[in-house]
Chain A
Amino acid sequence: MVPGTLYVALWRGDAAGGAFRRYRVPASPRQTVLDIVTWVQRHEDSGLSYRFACRVGMCGTCAMTVNGRPRWTCRTLVGAAARDGKLEVAPLANLPVVKDLACDMTEFFEKWRRAEGRFQPQPGAGPDFAVVPPAGAARQAADAGIECIGCAVCYAVCDVVAWNPDYLGPAALNRAWTLVNDVRDGTRQSRLRAVAGDAGCHACHSHQSCRQHCPKHLNPTASIAGLKRAAAAAALRGGL
């Protein structure tokens, strides 16, 4: 092994299939996995496809599978992630591949929509601002989950998503929970119906892989537990 060189394997292929291809990349201090991928595309193979945007850990676009775990590549230092200088980068799991390291996020956001993950104001909401105490229990619950940027790391690491293709997934359910706790929202009942069905919140087995891997340190398991309680309460009151 040449000192100062990394031996990286990047997955190349598309929806029909593919394989890892090896590259030798010069090592440098405080290199991130995104730096590696970018170097390969610029100096070795301009045909390598991958996604990034902000490069500074804000947008979540660069999420990929690094040595078997989904991570933001711009925030993953090679020294921390690479074992013996070996790095294996693949597209996110649980999502169809478009090409190389870019996956198709359509189903991720389709499930977000199916979980009614968007705000609908209560009918008759006037032009005045709603008064929502920030210290109130509902707002605290919503705030705990509101920082999700839809990077799909939790979706990629979730076993139930892998085992049940219809499962809405941690991100969509987490968003639904923040909206269930939004006192301005007017579609609580239909949202609870949307998330408590066949492949909804009850399919979660609380592995907490989502919580472990979320780069924003959110806790979808807790949000999903909240949805289970809310659905049960609604069902017992006859309102589901």
Chain B
Amino acid sequence: MSARAETGLWLAQRLSAAVLALCVLVHLVTIVLAVQGGLTAVEILGRTHGNAAWAAFYATFVLAAAIHAPIGLRAVAREVLGWRGPALEAAAAALGVALAAMGWRAVAGLFA
């Protein structure tokens, strides 16, 4: 991979890390508050249905994770499994797409 592409991945990793750090903190606080008194599906879906602000937040959370995880695993695959070249890049991209798809599907289910 070229210097520009490799540097771009490094930057994307650090930026998505910063976004994730924030999102994870907000998410944990939210979950703790939601869990007090126990959760039921009715309660959860009642809070999340049609809530555009939360939808936007979680959609961003999913995107940051879908960027961050594959770049990290790419390094692991390269060093532990010895993967190289197009196979490595394709696998990482596929993971990113899969995470984004699954995550956004979940967000859609909770908010639509």
A–B proximity contact (CB within 8 A): yes
Q: Which residues of A contact B (CB under 8 A)?
A: 160, 163-164, 192-198, 200, 202-203, 205, 228, 231-232, 234-236, 240
Q: Interface digits, B60-75 against A, CB 8 Å rule (1 contact, 0 not)?
A: 0000000000000001
Chain B residues with CB below 8 A from A232, complex form: 7, 10-11
Q: Which residues of B contact A (CB under 8 A)?
A: 1-4, 6-11, 75, 78-80
- B80's nearest neighbour on chain A, judged by CB, is A163
Known contacts A163-B80, A197-B1, A198-B1; A231/B75 CB under 8 A: no
CA distance in complex: A200, B75 (Å): 12
A202 touches B6 (CB 8 A): yes
Chain A residues with CB below 8 A from B3, complex form: 192-197, 200, 231, 235, 240
- Tell me the interface secondary structure of chain B in the complex: helix
- A196's nearest neighbour on chain B, judged by CB, is B3
Known contacts A197-B1, A198-B1, A235-B11; A163/B6 CB under 8 A: no
B79 touches A240 (CB 8 A): no
- Tell me the interface secondary structure of chain A in the complex: helix
Q: How far is the CB of A60 from chain B (nearest CB, A)?
A: 28
CA distance in complex: A193, B6 (Å): 10
Chain A residues with CB below 8 A from B4, complex form: 193, 196, 235, 240
A202 touches B10 (CB 8 A): yes
- A234's nearest neighbour on chain B, judged by CB, is B7
CA distance in complex: A201, B101 (Å): 32
- A165's nearest neighbour on chain B, judged by CB, is B82
A196 touches B79 (CB 8 A): no
Q: How far is the CB of A235 from chain B (nearest CB, A)?
A: 4
Q: How far is the CB of B68 from chain A (nearest CB, A)?
A: 15
CA distance in complex: A191, B24 (Å): 38
Kindly identify which residue among B1, B7, B9 contacts A240, using a CB–CB cutoff of 8 Å. B7
27 CB < 8 A contacts A-B: A160-B79, A163-B80, A164-B79, A192-B3, A193-B2, A194-B3, A195-B3, A196-B4, A196-B6, A197-B1, A197-B2, A197-B3, A200-B3, A202-B6, A202-B7, A202-B10, A203-B75, A205-B75, A228-B10, A231-B10, A232-B10, A234-B7, A235-B7, A235-B8, A235-B11, A236-B11, A240-B3
